[in-house]
């Protein structure tokens, strides 16, 4: 538990070591088996590994995130599929709830965003369990990235996460965290 929840840090740099595609598949296999509402599973992931793909990504990254993103072995685009509800009859066989989303774009977006974010949390923790360092970020041009990578899909980017075998010299001291009594109430 400590390895996954309290001993990990955000990495700003990684070892010069490739992540095998089998590790990325294993990572997803852990993510997919966690809860989402109606088992909707809206998360879609594009693993950006090749130099060519990194160059396509580069124009959409904020300057403060550019160096660490370009040098990371993998940058995952964690996106949400706004057509997720089309698969609900298969993914949630208990009842067909796709009608809740079909003509309701606001509810569809909220559900996709909320649940892909939840799956993104699973993604980060699964990466830690596999010994990978992570560098999640939201500092990028969502619209530009979506047009470049998802023009032919109904996907929208949620956040990015750099992945690699962390370089312990490329972290910062842990920033303060709230104590239980500061932000939690039991009613």
pLDDT of residue 111: 98
Domain-wise residue ranges, the chain: 2-164
Confidence of residue 8 (pLDDT cuts 50, 70, 90): confident
Q: Hey, what are 41's tokens? A: 């599973």
pLDDT of residue 63: 96
CATH number, domain 2-164: 3.40.109.10
Assess contact for 135 and 12: CB atoms under 8 A.
yes
pLDDT tens profile 42-56: 999 999 999 999 999
Distance CA 120, CA 126 (A): 10
Confidence of residue 3 (pLDDT cuts 50, 70, 90): confident
Confidence (pTM): 0.94
pLDDT of residue 6: 80
Distance CA 59, CA 141 (A): 9
pLDDT of residue 122: 98
Give the phi and the psi of residue 103 in degrees, each rounded to 5: -115, 30
pLDDT of residue 173: 87
Distance CA 89, CA 81 (A): 16
Give the phi and the psi of residue 81 in degrees, each rounded to 5: -95, 115
């Amino acid at each position: 538990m400590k390895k996954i929840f309290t001993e990990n840090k955000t990495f700003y740099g990684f070892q010069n070591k490739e992540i095998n595609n089998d590790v990325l598949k294993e990572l997803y296999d852990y993510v997919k088996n966690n809860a989402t509402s109606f088992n909707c599973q809206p998360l879609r992931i594009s693993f950006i590994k090749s130099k060519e793909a990194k160059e396509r990504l580069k124009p959409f990254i904020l300057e403060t995130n550019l160096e660490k993103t370009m040098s990371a072995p993998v940058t995952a685009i964690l996106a949400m599929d706004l057509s997720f509800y089309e698969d609900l009859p298969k993914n949630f066989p208990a009842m067909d709830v796709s009608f809740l989303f079909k003509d309701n774009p606001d509810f569809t977006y909220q559900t996709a965003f909320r649940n892909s974010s939840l799956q993104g949390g699973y993604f980060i923790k699964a990466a830690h369990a596999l010994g990978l360092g992570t560098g999640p970020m939201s500092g990028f041009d969502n619209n530009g990235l979506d047009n470049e990578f998802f023009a032919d899909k109904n996907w929208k980017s949620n956040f990015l996460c750099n992945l690699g075998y962390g370089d312990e010299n490329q972290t910062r001291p842990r920033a303060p965290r709230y104590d239980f009594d500061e932000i939690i109430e039991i009613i």
